[in-house]
Structure 1
Amino acid sequence: MTKITRIYYQNSTNNRKRKAKVKTLLHLPLYFLIALLYILGSPVLAKVPDAINSSSQLTNTTITNTVSASSLEQGKMLYDAGRFAEAVQVLQQAAEKYKQQEDNLRLAITLSNLSLAYQQLGAWTEAKQAITGSLNLLRASNKKQNWQVLAQSLDIQGRLQLAMGEAEEALATWQQTAEIYKQAKNHNGVVRSQINQAQAWRTKGFYTRAVKILKEVDRQLQSQPDSIEKAVALRSLGDAQLVAGNLEESQDALNRSLMIAENLKSQPHIAASLFSLGNYARTQQQIKQAINYYQQTIQVSSSPLVKVQAQLNLLSLLIQDREQPLTVQSLLSSIQSQLQQLPPSRAAIYAQINFAQSLMKLSIGDRDRKSPQFPVFSPEQIAQLLETTVQQSRSLGDKRAEAYALLSFGSLYQKTQQLPKAQSFTQQGLVLAQTSNAQDIAYRLEWQLGKLLRAQKDIKGAIAAYDAAVESLKSLRNDLVAVNQDVQFNFRDSVEPVYRESVELLLQSPDGNLDKLLDKARQRIEALQLAELDNFFQEACLQGESVPLDRVANQENPTAILYPIILPEELQVIVKIPKQNLQHYSTKISQTEVEEVLTQLRKTLVNPAATNAIKNQSQQVYNWLIQPIESQLAKSKVNTLVFVLDGSLRNLPMAALYDGKKYLVEKYAIALSVGLQLQNPKRLIRQQLRALTAGLTQPPPDFPNFGPLPAIKSEINLIASAGVSTTSLLDKDFTRKALENKVNTVPFNVVHLATHGQFSSRAENTFILAASGPIKVRDFNILLRGRDESRPGAVELLFLSACQTAAGDNRATLGLAGAAVRAGARSTLASLWQIDDESTALFVGEFYRELQGNEITKAEALRQAQLKLLRHPNYNAPCFWSAYVLVGNWL
């Protein structure tokens, strides 16, 4: 996302007539515009600044003092060159001259520009004083002809507010700016204000709203000729769509932005768009394309800062892949040289920290992977670089930048096993982050502190530090996607380990009440799972009434709840049996070994001829999860097992676990839950089931990888023959629009979609096929959540038949959980892999007969349908019956 602010000069003319008459007057550029998104972000992934120059006219006042005017021009040149401290000196001199001349308008303009220069230096107090002085002068004059100057100064104030973490105030400021521009009929000004407002919404975590604003801006500008504003708006839209997970839309907007910048021959904006495209490719793991975009950025950009930012991102990719040592060596030399020439500013500090982090990965991290071909830097050299960043941060009074520097300092000493030093730097950084209200930095420092205390055997202190890190994550608007994108936010690397390591510590703690510790551990795992879903959708997902699983399990059919947790060196299982305290047991086995077994079993399960191998492999998993409590389950007469699965376990159907004599499904009804809370935990009222069914026997031609499903007609007929009232959409009638129409007009409590579909760890790759094309999981919200769940027509069950998890995606079942949540249905029944469609038809018919005809739970109806196939001579292999899983309300 790009926010727009301008340094500007008073124009020398009012209109064309006057311009023709006053040819001898000094003409100065009216604006220059910059976007400093990287100031709000992490040193890990810096952002490109935007430098937009406009020829629009502000006022009809003529600059007559050529000395002061040249000072302003000199200030602009220094600012453009990134020499912000020198720009401050020149602008201060110009301000003093205007003050002596009592020229308040030019003084106000100069103070606004001075505020921008201070902001680049991270001198927030001085920046605030300068912009406040400018606004006070402009408001005191209260002249209508100065309103647009006021709007420009408000633009700069909004930028400062956002940089200081005051997103709400920045939004209000930019809304005020937009109103002024509307009154002045300044269309470009309105557009800039809308782009800025979108940035504020995004910073607040409201990505959907930011995208909506930018789409409206795009719509307004489509009929307009190419302009810099148009290029910026499209680039902002592309960046926002990338954060929101709308990848096709993101790429399209960024490509359009690049095309406009190229048409306008605007080198700064060509470089900015190339940089954003590089970030897009990097997010998509398109490493070669990302490298190419960053290399182009380096070639095109005339800004030293932009060049070094692109070089740093390029360096991190090359280090990651351990390729091209000669290129790495050349980059290191170039980056070192350019960093030394950058004037002190927050962006320069972040670039240096970024460089230090890359050097740590190159020289200290992954020692086994190091190659003698790559240069090695000593810890002392890296420490010297970080010491410079700390000193520069302090000289600028930038606590946030200093906190980042101290975080990296602590990390350096942690890697070199100088733990007391590492702890000291980490604690210093934590104080700064907390006093700066920088929770996105604080949680990393708290996490680092927890690891350091744990390494020093201070388990109690480590638990407290991890607790604080988790609370800091919660405070990020309870929505992890709201963490500033510039933190190079990677859920699996930056968030998931905090929860997982915290659970490991809790389970190792020798102190405290065991039941409370176990409850805290499983709550933390639930928080992790909900955070995964939020990250999957880029927004908070679970809403509405929820009831703890324990309460439901104790009140309904005897139900045990199992929480397997995969830790680095062991597999832990927490179990809740009705009317008993929580208990846990563990198996000493590495996470790598666990995942190898689970991956192999998942591959074997789909082979109909591998029954014996399946039994052997699944018995090992059974021994981990069930065997230690099988006697207690029998004694408590448990008939249903609910699993809150972790990691790769989610890719396996628990029904296929084998005890040496029987499969688990032969003894228990089985269901899955996303967390410890059950949404709308009501039993299915025994009434006439009404199903909205949709099926596709022949996929659209654009999807040749999906074969025909001729048995779907039989499947839908079997649903009707089971006594279920059906409204059907088949083949060409099954379009998204037709489905949406039926959802809103037909009474039903079951949605049965018999068509190809795919679950993935990425929301954009999770979809079902209709005749009109894919319906993505994000659209389930539009299709089904519009119904009022409190009315009799609530969606009790979403059945996704013939779907499958994405091949090679170890977290693909996250898409299944996402589909369940997004649909708003109380239960979702789906297959983990696509199976023979004739056996599917048989299974579906039996499931609905059980559900319609007997007073049983959905989980038990699923079990009976699975047993039907298990006992069938043609379909008794686990690949046919075990693929089906029930997520959500099992009652």
Structure 2
Amino acid sequence: MSGNAVFAEYFVSHEATFVFGLRADLGEPEVVEVSLTLADLRDFVAAELGSTGANGGGAEPARSRLDRANLGSWQELLDPLVAPLGEWCAEGDPVWLVPHDVLHYLPLHALRVGGSLLLERNPVVYTPSASVMRYCRQKRQRPRGAAALVLGDSLGDLPFARDEAEAVAAALGTNALVGADATRTAFLDRMGDSPPAGVVHLACHGTFDAAEPLRSGIVLAPDHGGAEILSAEDIFGLTLSADLVVLSACESGVNARRPGDELLGLTRALVYAGVPSVVVSLWRVDDLSTLILMDRFYRGLAELHKARALQRAATELMQMTDDQVLEYVERRAAALRASGDDAAAERFEGLAYSSLLAAERRIPRPSEGPWRPFSHFAAWAPFVLVGDWR
């Protein structure tokens, strides 16, 4: 442990859940026993997210369940899991969480600690195990100012992902590879360049294979017909020098648990390949809210560490009023028109307004006061930082 960071690791048993807390100035870990059993938590995740977690396990997708979820009821059950953090850390201290079993599927940062959401109170980072953080820090390769690689809308069916990729590329001072240019070969060639990309952003379809998690991956454009998957198994075989990889794809952070609580999937594959910090999503994400969050995240990286940049981006997103969202949409559409792409501007506006209509079904407009369309945690909580927060 270093500085004011607080470490909290969870262990879920058939009798209870244990929270182990550690800080640099504590001689020994503090241990809190919580009367939530493995059955309690698995039943909760099955009811709220589907039987296999955030990737969904029943007939109804997890995102549909989340749209109706009441964070207050989550808080009532799960509060004892995060309450100790209020005693172990001050506001603003980095919080490092190591979940266990089905807790990997839950956005613990969306719960309240004291009177504030944990994410508002503290920058939060996750790792699949305690040993992963040391591995991540050993693998830090290059400063944040290195070149970037941005791929998006690889199959030509995610117009918002294309807009996201182009907005992110502009923030990073590079050009996005979109559509047919977002190929597996382009990714591998660019990562093999000297120097390789220091920041990699992939705004493409993600796949999760529950039966064979190593076949989960990112869908990229084909070089010669069909679609190609950059799988977790492929990534395990690479040596990557990127300082940060962002997987802005559906359920990119979902992994399969194995005995010993080992996780297999894209996140662990990227860390094993040498990436110290990975941003992934826990469930299917809203297009417009993702675009806004990612835009703010990358702009924040110019002055903040990664966990703080993600914290600020998510906090700003949840607090945005509909007027501010519309202003963002109009500004983005105007930029597209200024570049001569009127069709893209009209498409973007149409998709954005559809996204706002969907948000209104989750968060109805109040009779008085501002409407905050992305204040529901399904919009601002899916993205998590895994690995080194610096």
TM-score (norm 2): 0.73
Whether the 8 Å CA contact 1:799–1:829 is kept in 2: the answer is: yes
Q: Secondary structure at the match of 2:36?
A: coil
Whether the 8 Å CA contact 1:820–1:887 is kept in 2: the answer is: no
- The equivalent position to 1:594 in structure 2, one of 14, 34, 41, is 41
- The equivalent position to 2:104 in structure 1, one of 644, 650, 670, is 650
Distance 1:638 1:575, change over 3 A: farther
Q: Give me the whole-angstrom Cα distance separating, in 2, the residues matched to 1:593 and 1:797.
A: 35
Distance 1:640 1:808, change over 3 A: closer
- The equivalent position to 1:691 in structure 2, one of 138, 148, 153, is 148
Whether the 8 Å CA contact 2:256–2:264 is kept in 1: the answer is: no
Distance 1:697 1:743, change over 3 A: closer
Cα drift, residue 650 of structure 1? 0.3
The one-letter amino acid paired with 1:571 is T
Structure-2 residue corresponding to 1:768: 218
- The equivalent position to 1:844 in structure 2, one of 294, 314, 334, is 294
Q: Give me the whole-angstrom Cα distance separating, in 2, the residues matched to 1:884 and 1:654.
A: 12
Q: How many residues align?
A: 314
Distance 1:579 1:659, change over 3 A: closer
Structure-2 residue corresponding to 1:886: 385
The Cα RMSD (Å) is: 2.8
Q: Give me the whole-angstrom Cα distance separating, in 2, the residues matched to 1:589 and 1:614.
A: 18
Whether the 8 Å CA contact 1:570–1:588 is kept in 2: the answer is: yes
Distance 1:825 1:685, change over 3 A: closer
Whether the 8 Å CA contact 1:689–1:725 is kept in 2: the answer is: no
Structure-1 residue corresponding to 2:68: 610
The one-letter amino acid paired with 2:278 is T
Q: Which has the larger radius of gyration?
A: 1
Distance 1:649 1:769, change over 3 A: same
Distance 1:805 1:730, change over 3 A: closer
Cα drift, residue 614 of structure 1? 2.0
Q: Secondary structure at the match of 2:201?
A: strand
Cα drift, residue 858 of structure 1? 0.7
Whether the 8 Å CA contact 1:767–1:774 is kept in 2: the answer is: yes
The one-letter amino acid paired with 1:615 is G
Q: Give me the whole-angstrom Cα distance separating, in 2, the residues matched to 1:592 and 1:663.
A: 26
Structure-2 residue corresponding to 1:741: 189
Structure 1: 5+ residue runs without aligned partners? 1-549, 700-707, 788-793
Q: Give me the whole-angstrom Cα distance separating, in 1, the residues matched to 2:39 and 2:204.
A: 35
Whether the 8 Å CA contact 1:759–1:814 is kept in 2: the answer is: no
1:541-592 Cα offsets, whole Å, 9 max, x none, are: xxxxxxxxx2xxx2x4x11111110011111111102311211011233311
Structure-1 residue corresponding to 2:25: 579
1:732-755 Cα offsets, whole Å, 9 max, x none, are: 112212221222226320111110
Structure-2 residue corresponding to 1:797: 244
Q: Describe how 1:550-565 pairs up with structure 2 within 5 A.
A: 550=1, 554=2, 556=3, 558-565=4-11
1:303-343 Cα offsets, whole Å, 9 max, x none, are: xxxxxxxxxxxxxxxxxxxxxxxxxxxxxxxxxxxxxxxxx
Q: Give me the whole-angstrom Cα distance separating, in 1, the residues matched to 2:37 and 2:169.
A: 49
Whether the 8 Å CA contact 1:665–1:863 is kept in 2: the answer is: yes
Whether the 8 Å CA contact 1:760–1:814 is kept in 2: the answer is: no
- The equivalent position to 1:778 in structure 2, one of 220, 233, 240, is 233
The one-letter amino acid paired with 2:319 is R
Structure-1 residue corresponding to 2:204: 755
Whether the 8 Å CA contact 1:718–1:845 is kept in 2: the answer is: yes
Distance 1:652 1:760, change over 3 A: farther
Q: Give me the whole-angstrom Cα distance separating, in 2, the residues matched to 1:684 and 1:859.
A: 18
Check if 1:666 corresponds to 2:120. yes
Q: Describe how 1:255-334 pairs up with structure 2 within 5 A.
A: none
- The equivalent position to 1:726 in structure 2, one of 157, 169, 174, is 174
Structure-2 residue corresponding to 1:679: 135
Q: Give me the whole-angstrom Cα distance separating, in 2, the residues matched to 1:643 and 1:577.
A: 12
The one-letter amino acid paired with 1:735 is T
Check if 1:567 corresponds to 2:13. yes
Q: Give me the whole-angstrom Cα distance separating, in 2, the residues matched to 1:805 and 1:719.
A: 18
Structure-2 residue corresponding to 1:830: 280
Whether the 8 Å CA contact 1:681–1:889 is kept in 2: the answer is: yes
Distance 1:696 1:597, change over 3 A: same
Structure 2: 5+ residue runs without aligned partners? 51-61, 223-227, 321-371
Q: Describe how 1:139-538 pairs up with structure 2 within 5 A.
A: none
Distance 1:633 1:606, change over 3 A: farther
Distance 1:578 1:600, change over 3 A: farther
Q: Give me the whole-angstrom Cα distance separating, in 1, the residues matched to 2:248 and 2:299.
A: 16
Cα drift, residue 807 of structure 1? 9.1
Q: Give me the whole-angstrom Cα distance separating, in 1, the residues matched to 2:141 and 2:377.
A: 28
1:332-361 Cα offsets, whole Å, 9 max, x none, are: xxxxxxxxxxxxxxxxxxxxxxxxxxxxxx
1:608-644 Cα offsets, whole Å, 9 max, x none, are: 6535x22221342132x2213423423xx66111111
The one-letter amino acid paired with 1:696 is D
The one-letter amino acid paired with 1:628 is P
Distance 1:591 1:868, change over 3 A: same
1:464-495 Cα offsets, whole Å, 9 max, x none, are: xxxxxxxxxxxxxxxxxxxxxxxxxxxxxxxx
Whether the 8 Å CA contact 2:6–2:94 is kept in 1: the answer is: yes
Cα drift, residue 680 of structure 1? 4.6
Whether the 8 Å CA contact 1:765–1:776 is kept in 2: the answer is: yes
Whether the 8 Å CA contact 1:567–1:591 is kept in 2: the answer is: yes
Cα drift, residue 883 of structure 1? 0.5
Q: Secondary structure at the match of 2:137?
A: coil
Q: Give me the whole-angstrom Cα distance separating, in 2, the residues matched to 1:832 and 1:875.
A: 17
Q: Give me the whole-angstrom Cα distance separating, in 2, the residues matched to 1:807 and 1:822.
A: 16
Check if 1:868 corresponds to 2:324. no
Structure with the largest fraction of strand: 2
Whether the 8 Å CA contact 2:136–2:387 is kept in 1: the answer is: no
Cα drift, residue 864 of structure 1? 0.8
Structure with the largest fraction of helix: 1
The one-letter amino acid paired with 2:373 is N
Cα drift, residue 846 of structure 1? 0.5
